[in-house]
Amino acid sequence: MPTPLSGHHVAVLMGGLSAEREVSLVSGRECAAALERLGAKVSRVDAGRDLAQVLSALKPDVCFNALHGEWGEDGCVQGVLETLGLPYSHSGVLASALAMDKAKAKAVLAAAGVTVPGGGLFNRFEAAAEHVMAPPYVVKPNAEGSSVGVFLVFEGANRPPQEIVAPSWTFGEQVMIEPYVAGRELAVGVMDGKAMTVTDIIPRTGFYDYEAKYADGGSTHIVPAKIPTQAFERALRMCELAHAALGCRGVTRADLRYDDVNDVLVLLEVNTQPGMTPTSLVPEQAAQQGVDFDALVLWITEDAYARGGAGGKPA
């Protein structure tokens, strides 16, 4: 019996160069296994600086981009794929670069009517010398994901986080500092421009950091979120608007904070290549909507084909 991707060669781009490499390897592994179950010939590609040469030799029909963070999610790899004329999953060059740059993305989202937190960019040495705003606030790299390099400065803190000026800091000279919004951590997946549902994330540690996102049992996900209907619907519409305003395509995930005491909902960022690990939010939301993991991977792959490239959309 023929399978949906029989005869199609898919290169799964994984690993890469960013601080999110290990997460990407897991996403890539899961997606590659699903593609093989769907009948595709799969090439697993650890995306380094020689990506163009590797793909030129492989000649895949389509690329499934399972990279996260710098190089793979910020428009650089997308530019390589555009140059090679290969169809690829998720957002294009501009949307990828824009969504990864938190400051520029916030400006675009605010102009489109999306509620975003205040704050702005600060030199990391100035931000480490003294509080640039009254605590509580959040310090984060301007162009990283997965809560890498994120610090919460609590009310009453004597000084800002000194980690941002440590020799090990590799996330740029400017940091994004935003007022901390108390309340719930929410996430909304958007697929083909339509929001799926809202997840309420309850981290085991009290802060949704890297471990809470990816460690087994690091957080509890309530799907769908048990929040007031009006806030639920507002979150869905806000994330659809953000997806469109940034020019995204395929599947994205937006992260939000909801202050349920004061009914304040703000959108923190849009992830153009959300995680596809066993603990990831988008596969969980898709499953809640009746779309299992393999069907989700198939849709993402078909969506990449549909935007052009040799062979067209799989039969």
State yes or no: is 269 an active-site residue.
yes
Structure tokens at 31: 């997606």
User: Cα–Cα distance between 257 and 255 in angstroms, integer?
Assistant: 7
State yes or no: is 20 an active-site residue.
yes
Q: Select which of 145, 149, 275, 309 is catalytic.
A: 275
Q: Select which of 142, 146, 147, 219 is catalytic.
A: 146
With a CB cutoff of 8 Å and minimum separation 6, the contacts of 234 are 265
Q: Select which of 214, 249, 280, 309 is catalytic.
A: 214
With a CB cutoff of 8 Å and minimum separation 6, the contacts of 172 are 124, 141, 142, 143
User: Cα–Cα distance between 41 and 235 in angstroms, integer?
Assistant: 38
CB 13 within 8 A of CB 28: yes
State yes or no: is 73 an active-site residue.
no
DSSP state of 163: G
Q: Select which of 18, 20, 96, 183 is catalytic.
A: 20
In angstroms, what CA-CA distances link 289 with 47, 62, 132, 283, 297?
Answer: 32, 26, 43, 10, 15
DSSP 86-131: --BSS--HHHHHHHHSHHHHHHHHHHTT------EEEEHHHHHHS-
State yes or no: is 275 an active-site residue.
yes
Q: Select which of 30, 144, 200, 269 is catalytic.
A: 269
Q: Select which of 255, 257, 280, 303 is catalytic.
A: 255
Q: Select which of 21, 124, 249, 253 is catalytic.
A: 253
The residues annotated with a catalytic role in the active site are 20, 146, 214, 253, 255, 269, 271, 275
